[in-house]
């Protein structure tokens, strides 16, 4: 199909200093958990975006010196010539598809602990980031930078920029955002120096200016120099010389960078989950920048709609459409718009599982795109899949997330697929969850797969078909995948921090009861030890229905794991807005006669709390009775010609949506595959070498 003319604007080339991006699609720097220790995975992951049409493809954050050590979080390095060799794999891969390669040079300053290098961190005034969540806690405090340290920093930046040029990068960054060292000089809370680098905005911006200048000098006009800067805090601060301190900073630096990459200040706001922020939510903060500089501006906003993208450009907000999460969910987003296939875009749902993977220190994961992170080690591709390995037909039982992804991927391979769903509507848990407050965007998981399945003549979907084991044995299929999901239990939480005995009785509910239409009236106690989104979103639902809600958890925060997905700060604010009472470090010991007995997790002190219902959001267990019945009769399976019987998704091991979809996709990829296709390749750092690869050398 031809491209819609109203999107032609998105495919205009953009000059960025000495280089030119082929279009306005810009895959901004973002961590992907693939560092110098996984160079092949990193190169293939970024290459897939270039293949998908992104005009610029950037790395994640790259340390310029051992004084910037973010371990155990997965950061990359550009400390020596061996690192140059490692990064050259990525630039060569990106260049093969006509894209520019960008590198985000980074110094963490007082926001890192240097756990591995064990040298004192640096900060403008000896201030440290003292986070309230344990994965960012540490006890190595920074030292105050003196004039020699500043000169050293400028040298490290220049040396890293020269290495970046040798590695083949086209755009080299100065990173003054997200609480890292140059940003720390911009804010008076970090910077209370009395020398030329402290005090006025003009002084506080001096270090950023000098970093830009030495970077320009180091790359010698061969690369563009970009400034990535956070403006949220500065935008909120008054200035005597401009509309805000953010305006003043931009005016002072104006045309010094070749590109402005503008963002917000913290991960929970910059990469806010869709539950709490809509597409394009950055505009009120960063929308002024383009009016103050002649240089191109790139920004993000979880853009998935080409109309929104065009609107940002026409209204003078951005020149380039930046994306991290949407470029993971669909690396081929630009190509699909270019080819008039907007309906095929696998839109980001804003669940932030990708961000949680960085917090987990593992390669990136994506709910929508199960091939993310598996491009090299499993050979998966978001748009291509191997043809069927046999003519056998496949039955998938259950049209929830795992079953839908499984049937779709099998159908794309060319198998004849029957997808049987007991309910009248497909979607499984998504039918309920996408109706919960803030989770409507998660419906993209269902709607995209529904639309793709409708175009596959070899996949037949049977709704309202509750199959028994005997029914399946009579169908004459070669393979059976059971995707019947999981159920929430009424188990309580023991002092050993595992689910304990079931609690039965009037008024004891689970999320399954809410999904079935049971809504309690009167005060409700939501007891959450699942620690992800479900407990907090049900508390919000009930509060909006007019119930008085008390949320109880044995953890130290509401939705404790949701710190990993940037949701937790927003959840606490939402609880305050809705007057939801929060009790942490507390277990429910019993519930009877409308009274819950609460017990402190550590002291054992008890408290009685009257409530009309107790909603337990805790353990889930596989709903796999059908699988067990079939597996229990191997001769019957053989007589029926069933070659394989497999559980997928929650029916195998309950998890988040990302796990269910990955499970369904993996089954489809591996069915009838040869041993080589099943091989799990382990990446490793490149061996040390003296010479650089020829393609990365400078003339």
Q: What is the pLDDT of residues 176-213, one digit of tens each?
A: 999 999 999 999 999 999 999 999 999 999 999 999 99
For 512-537, the pLDDT digits (tens) are 999 999 999 999 999 999 999 999 99
Of 328, 251, 334, residue with least CA distance to 295: 251
Q: Are 184 and 109 in contact (CB under 8 A)?
A: yes
Mean pLDDT of 232-258: 97
Residue 498 three-state SS: coil
Instruction: For residue 151, give Cα distances in angstroms to 147, 157, 205, 389.
Output: 6, 10, 16, 61
Domain-located, residue 369? no
Domain boundary among 312, 330, 349: 349
> Are residues 548 and 641 part of one domain?
no
φ/ψ of 62, rounded to 5, equals: -130, 115
Domain-located, residue 362? no
Position 137 scores a pLDDT of 81
> Are residues 201 and 79 part of one domain?
yes
Domain-located, residue 231? yes
pLDDT over 60 (residue 695): no
> Are residues 267 and 248 part of one domain?
yes
Look up the CATH number of the domain holding residue 219.
3.20.20.70
Selected catalytic residue, list 180, 197, 532, 551:
180
Domain-located, residue 683? no
206 in the Ramachandran plot: left (φ > 0), alpha (ψ -120 to 50) or beta? alpha
Rounded Cα gap, residues 608 and 598, in angstroms? 6
Of 158, 178, 132, 186, residue with least CA distance to 64: 158
Q: Are 541 and 580 in contact (CB under 8 A)?
A: no
Burial 189-214 (b: 16+ CB within 10 A, else e): ebbebeeebbeebebbbbbbbbbbbb
> Are residues 413 and 345 part of one domain?
no
pLDDT over 80 (residue 689): no
- Six-digit token string for 692: 């650089």
Residue 4 three-state SS: coil
Mean pLDDT of 222-235: 97
| Residue 512, number of CB atoms within 10 A of its CB | 16
**Which residue intervals of 264-400 are DSSP H helices?**
267-270, 283-286, 306-314, 325-329, 333-338, 353-359
Of 334, 421, 329, residue with least CA distance to 382: 329
Q: Kindly compute the dihedral angle of the four CA atoms of residues 599, 601, 605, 606, in this order, to the nearest 10 degrees.
A: -10
Position 688 scores a pLDDT of 77
> Are residues 420 and 282 part of one domain?
no
> Are residues 634 and 615 part of one domain?
no
Position 136 scores a pLDDT of 82
> Are residues 303 and 186 part of one domain?
yes
Rounded Cα gap, residues 61 and 110, in angstroms? 16
Contacts for 275 with CB less than 8 Å, ≥ 6 apart:
350, 437, 438, 439, 441, 533, 537, 567, 570
pLDDT band at 691; cut points 50, 70, 90: very low
- Six-digit token string for 188: 């008076």
> Are residues 121 and 34 part of one domain?
yes
Instruction: For residue 121, give Cα distances in angstroms to 103, 139, 140, 463.
Output: 23, 11, 8, 60
Instruction: For residue 515, give Cα distances in angstroms to 165, 430, 510.
Output: 56, 10, 9
| Residue 436, number of CB atoms within 10 A of its CB | 19
Domain boundary among 317, 349, 381: 349
Provide the percentage of residues in the chain whose pLDDT is more than 70. Answer: 98
Domain-located, residue 398? yes
Mean pLDDT of 234-243: 96
Whether the ω angle into residue 267 lies within 30 degrees of 0, i.e. cis, is: no
- Six-digit token string for 38: 């996984």
Domain-located, residue 254? yes
Looking only at the bridges linking them, the beta strands covering 320-323 and 25-27 are parallel
Q: Whose structure tokens read 């993971």?
A: 328
pLDDT over 60 (residue 693): no
Q: Are 536 and 528 in contact (CB under 8 A)?
A: yes
Mean pLDDT of 225-239: 97
For 259-317, the pLDDT digits (tens) are 999 999 999 999 999 999 999 999 999 999 999 999 999 999 999 999 999 999 999 99
Q: Are 503 and 492 in contact (CB under 8 A)?
A: yes
φ/ψ of 482, rounded to 5, equals: -95, 120
φ/ψ of 203, rounded to 5, equals: -75, -40
pLDDT over 90 (residue 692): no
For 643-672, the pLDDT digits (tens) are 999 999 999 999 999 999 999 999 999 999
Rounded Cα gap, residues 19 and 298, in angstroms? 15
> Are residues 638 and 591 part of one domain?
no
Mean pLDDT of 318-343: 98
For 579-600, the pLDDT digits (tens) are 999 999 999 999 999 999 999 9
Burial 145-176 (b: 16+ CB within 10 A, else e): beeeebeebbebbbbbbbbbbbbbbbbbbbbb
Domain-located, residue 660? yes
Domain boundary among 295, 323, 349: 349
Rounded to the nearest integer, the mean pLDDT of the chain is 96
Provide the domain limits for residue 220: 5-349
For 113-154, the pLDDT digits (tens) are 999 999 999 999 999 998 888 878 888 899 999 999 999 999
Look up the CATH number of the domain holding residue 424.
3.40.50.720
Residue 244 three-state SS: coil
Looking only at the bridges linking them, the beta strands covering 259-263 and 297-299 are parallel
In the chain, the number of structural domains is 3
Q: Kindly compute the dihedral angle of the four CA atoms of residues 440, 442, 447, 449, in this order, to the nearest 10 degrees.
A: -170
> Are residues 631 and 590 part of one domain?
no
Rg (CA), the chain: 27
Look up the CATH number of the domain holding residue 604.
3.50.50.60
Contacts for 455 with CB less than 8 Å, ≥ 6 apart:
none
> Are residues 219 and 301 part of one domain?
yes
Position 698 scores a pLDDT of 36
| Residue 501, number of CB atoms within 10 A of its CB | 9
Q: Are 243 and 208 in contact (CB under 8 A)?
A: no
Position 139 scores a pLDDT of 87
Rounded Cα gap, residues 670 and 543, in angstroms? 45
Mean pLDDT of 417-429: 97
Position 676 scores a pLDDT of 76
Domain-located, residue 371? no
Provide the percentage of residues in the chain whose pLDDT is more than 90. Answer: 95
- For residue 680, indicate whether it is catalytic: no
For 601-638, the pLDDT digits (tens) are 999 999 999 999 999 999 999 999 999 999 999 999 99
Rounded Cα gap, residues 634 and 325, in angstroms? 45
> Are residues 101 and 87 part of one domain?
yes
Mean pLDDT of 424-435: 97
Angle (CA) 472 473 478, round 5°: 85
Of 204, 190, 212, 202, residue with least CA distance to 144: 190
């Amino acid at each position: 199909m031809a491209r819609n003319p109203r999107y032609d604007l998105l495919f205009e080339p953009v000059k960025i200093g000495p280089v030119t991006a082929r279009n306005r699609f810009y895959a901004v720097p973002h961590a992907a958990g693939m560092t110098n220790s996984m160079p092949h995975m990193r190169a293939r992951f970024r290459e897939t975006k270039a293949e998908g049409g992104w005009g610029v493809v950037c790395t994640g954050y790259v340390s310029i010196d051992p004084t910037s050590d973010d371990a155990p979080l997965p950061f990359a390095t550009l400390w020596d010539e061996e690192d140059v060799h490692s990064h050259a794999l990525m630039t060569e891969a990106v260049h093969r598809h006509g894209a520019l390669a960008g590198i985000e040079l980074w110094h963490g300053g007082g926001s890192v602990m240097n756990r591995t290098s064990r040298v004192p961190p640096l900060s403008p005034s000896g201030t440290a980031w003292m986070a309230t969540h344990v994965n960012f806690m540490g006890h190595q405090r920074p030292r105050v930078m003196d004039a020699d340290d500043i000169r050293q920093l400028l040298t490290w930046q220049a040396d890293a920029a020269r290495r970046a040029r040798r590695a083949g990068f086209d755009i080299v960054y100065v990173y003054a955002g997200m609480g890292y060292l140059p940003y720390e000089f911009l804010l008076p809370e970090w910077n209370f120096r009395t020398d030329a680098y402290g005090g006025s905005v003009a002084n506080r911006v001096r270090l950023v200016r000098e970093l830009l200048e030495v970077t320009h000098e180091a790359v010698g006009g061969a690369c563009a120099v970009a400034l990535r800067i956070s403006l949220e805090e500065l935008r909120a601060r008054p200035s005597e010389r401009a509309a805000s301190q953010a305006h003043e900073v931009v005016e002072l630096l104006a045309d010094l960078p070749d590109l402005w990459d503008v963002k917000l200040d913290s991960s929970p706001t910059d990469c806010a989950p869709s539950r709490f922020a809509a597409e394009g939510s950055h505009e009120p903060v960063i929308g002024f920048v383009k009016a103050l500089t002649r240089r191109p501006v790139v920004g993000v906003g979880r853009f998935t709609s080409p109309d929104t993208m065009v609107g940002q450009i026409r209204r003078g907000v951005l020149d380039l459409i930046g994306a991290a999460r949407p470029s993971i969910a669909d690396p081929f987003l630009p190509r699909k718009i270019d080819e008039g296939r907007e309906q095929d875009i696998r839109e980001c749902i804003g669940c932030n599982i990708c961000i949680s993977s960085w917090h987990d220190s593992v390669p990136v994961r994506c709910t929508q795109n199960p091939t993310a992170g598996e491009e090299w080690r499993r050979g998966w591709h978001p748009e291509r899949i191997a043809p069927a390995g046999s003519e056998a037909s496949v039955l998938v039982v259950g049209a929830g997330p795992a079953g839908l992804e499984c049937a779709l991927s099998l159908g794309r391979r060319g198998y004849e697929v029957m997808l049987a769903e007991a309910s009248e509507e497909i979607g499984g848990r998504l039918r309920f969850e996408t109706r919960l407050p803030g989770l409507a965007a998660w419906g993209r998981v269902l709607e995209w797969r529904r639309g793709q399945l409708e175009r596959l003549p070899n996949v037949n979907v049977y709704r309202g078909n509750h199959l028994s084991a005997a029914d399946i044995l009579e169908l004459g299929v070669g393979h059976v995948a059971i995707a019947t999901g999981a159920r929430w239990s009424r188990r309580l939480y023991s002092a050993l921090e595992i689910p304990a005995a079931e609690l039965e009785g009037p008024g004891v509910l689970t999320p399954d009861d809410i999904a079935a239409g049971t809504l309690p009236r009167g005060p409700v106690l939501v007891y959450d030890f699942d620690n992800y989104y479900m407990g907090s979103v049900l508390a919000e639902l009930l509060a909006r229905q007019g119930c008085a809600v008390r949320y109880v958890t044995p953890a130290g925060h509401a939705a404790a794991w949701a710190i990993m997905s940037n949701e937790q700060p927003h959840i606490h604010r939402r609880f305050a807005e809705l007057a939801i009472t929060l009790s942490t470090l507390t277990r429910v010991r019993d519930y009877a006669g409308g009274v819950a007995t609460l017990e402190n997790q550590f002291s054992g002190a008890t408290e009685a709390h009257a409530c009309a219902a107790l909603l337990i959001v805790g353990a889930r267990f596989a709903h796999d009775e059908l699988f067990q019945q079939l597996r229990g009769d191997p001769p019957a399976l053989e007589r029926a010609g069933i070659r394989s019987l497999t559980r997928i998704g929650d029916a195998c091991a309950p998890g988040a949506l990302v796990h269910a979809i990955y499970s369904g996709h993996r089954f489809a990829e591996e069915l009838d595959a040869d041993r080589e296709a099943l091989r799990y390749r382990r990446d490793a750092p490149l061996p040390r070498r003296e010479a650089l690869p020829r393609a990365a050398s400078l003339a």
